[in-house]
Amino acid sequence: MRSTPAQLWLVRHGESLANVVRTEAMRRDAREPAHEIDLTHRDVDVPLSARGERQASALGRWFADLPAGERPNVVIASPYLRAVRTAERIAAAGGAPTDIQFDERVREKELGLFYRLTRAGIEARHPEHWALRLQLGRFWFRPPGGESWADVALRLRAALHDICREHAGERVLVVCHQVVVLCARYVLERMTEPEIVQIARTHDVANCSVTSYRGGPQGLRLDRFNFTVPLEVEGAPVTAEPNVSARAS
């Protein structure tokens, strides 16, 4: 019998300021696409938007409405501010413990040289890197100073192993990021590169969506993916930054 949590929830953080400005940049006239998003924060310091705060509180109320024995009793969050604030709002709404553990291994994928650039900006300013990106695909391509999806999966293997070992039988909520949710699926479900890339092409992981696994004798099994009913029930907006570059893989 494998040692696993009884339940594992992977929640993408609420809508962030970066999500808002990047989506606005992508909606501009296609004849003059923006090359940069208007953001001065370090990635680790990007806050939630007002909508993101509403989403996190709505999700917290949904968790709080579960029977006491079915709510999260362990909370692990990325140390990035948008994930921290999401976890805090879930806890404040009564949906999870206020004692939050932070683990840098579930942080956002490092973008390196590409941080704050749109796809148009990368193509225009770093055409040789974009050409390599198209050749290798997003799973293996590592931007200068950044990470590939394979790099994220590598650190997640260690994080998920520790979660299973340290929190066997518990109900664990992990607040993280879009690529982390996808790479966790790749690791936990033993996917191939084409399988996870196809999911990325066809699904934008929504802000504050829930991806969950149930533990059992055979390990963790997927229960829900990109589940947004908690937001809809609470009347909170459902948002997802289009994952355009994934579709170019």
Phi, psi values for residue 140, rounded to 5°: -105, -20
The overall pTM is greater than 0.75: yes
d(CA 12, CA 229): 14
Q: What is the model's pLDDT at position 246?
A: 39
Q: Which residue type does 152 have?
A: V
Enumerate helices (H) and strands (E) in the chain, giving the number of each: 10, 6
Give the pair of three-digit tokens for residue 54.
Answer: 């509403």
- Please enumerate, as own/partner, the contacts of 243-248 that have beta carbons within 8 Å and a separation of 24 or more: 243/178, 243/200, 243/201, 243/203, 243/204, 243/205, 244/26, 244/119, 245/119, 245/138, 246/138, 246/197, 246/200, 246/201, 247/200, 247/201, 248/119, 248/134, 248/138
Strand 100-102 versus strand 219-227 pairing type:
unpaired
Distances in whole angstroms, Cα of residue 247 to Cα of each of 62, 79, 139, 144, 196: 32, 28, 12, 21, 12
Containing 102, the helix (H) or strand (E) segment is strand 100-102
Residue numbers in the chain where pLDDT is lower than 50: 1, 244-249
> How crowded is residue 102: how many other Cβ atoms within 10 Å of its Cβ?
16
Residue at token pair 């705060």: 53
CATH superfamily of 7-247: Phosphoglycerate mutase-like (3.40.50.1240)
